[in-house]
Amino acid sequence: MRGCSEHELVAGLRRGEAAALDEAYARYRDRIFGFLSRLAGRRDLAEDLFQETWLKLARHATTLREDTELGAWLYTVARNQFRSHRRWHALDDQRLRQFAATPPAAIDAEEQADARGALDVLEAALASLPASAREVLLLIAVEGLLPEQAARILGIEYDAVRQRLSRARALLAERMEIAERRRAAGGRR
């Protein structure tokens, strides 16, 4: 199944082929886990939701529609798993996991501190956003999905995604400014 088209992959899943499930996992595991990690803000929770997402695919693979966009389907399931968890558990909205790797050691200590500070500002700003704003930013800006795909995943119209994305970007910029001021003031509120 390696190198097969999306349509062939879905056809293999519909036939119940183990190789198709393996290929789907190989193609999407990192992206789905990254999405859940950033959305949930906790690795342990992301791991649980990640497992549930793949179990759902395994259970429902044979019932997928022929025209299923597998990536969008998996993001939708992952998002719904997270939302379901939030409904049933009082989540502590912790800071999101790092978006980027730690700066390389070749960069001097001052540059590393500046980079870490900028990353902390971004993480704090993202963590403070409502889930709906974080979702749209993560799907489009981080995961690189098209707005049309994000609309299908979020279950809203394309125009609504554009509006939500515009508001989320403005809110993120505002929250980053606030977080930067706090960082500059030494964390005092």
In terms of CATH architecture, what is 109-184? Orthogonal Bundle (1.10)
Residues whose CB is less than 8 angstroms from the CB of residue 23 and which lie 6 or more positions away in sequence, other chains included? 1, 2, 4, 9, 12
Residues whose CB is less than 8 angstroms from the CB of residue 114 and which lie 6 or more positions away in sequence, other chains included? none
Q: What is the DSSP string of the chain?
A: -TT--HHHHHHHHHTT-HHHHHHHHHHHHHHHHHHHHHHHS-HHHHHHHHHHHHHHHHHHGGG--TT--HHHHHHHHHHHHHHHHHHHS----PPPPPSSPPPPTTS-HHHHHHHHHHHHHHHHHHHTS-HHHHHHHIIIIIS---HHHHHHHHTS-HHHHHHHHHHHHHHHHHHHHHHHHHHHTTT--
- pTM tops 0.85: no
> For 26-35, how does the pLDDT look when each residue is reduced to its tens digit (9 = 90+)?
999 999 999 9
> For 60-81, how does the pLDDT look when each residue is reduced to its tens digit (9 = 90+)?
999 999 999 999 999 999 998 8
Give me the CATH topology for the region 6-88. Rna Polymerase Sigma Factor; Chain: A (1.10.1740)
Domain boundaries, the chain: 6-88, 109-184
Q: Is 109-184 in the same CATH topology as 6-88?
A: no
Give the per-residue pLDDT at 110.
Answer: 65
> For 20-59, how does the pLDDT look when each residue is reduced to its tens digit (9 = 90+)?
999 999 999 999 999 999 888 889 889 999 999 999 999 9
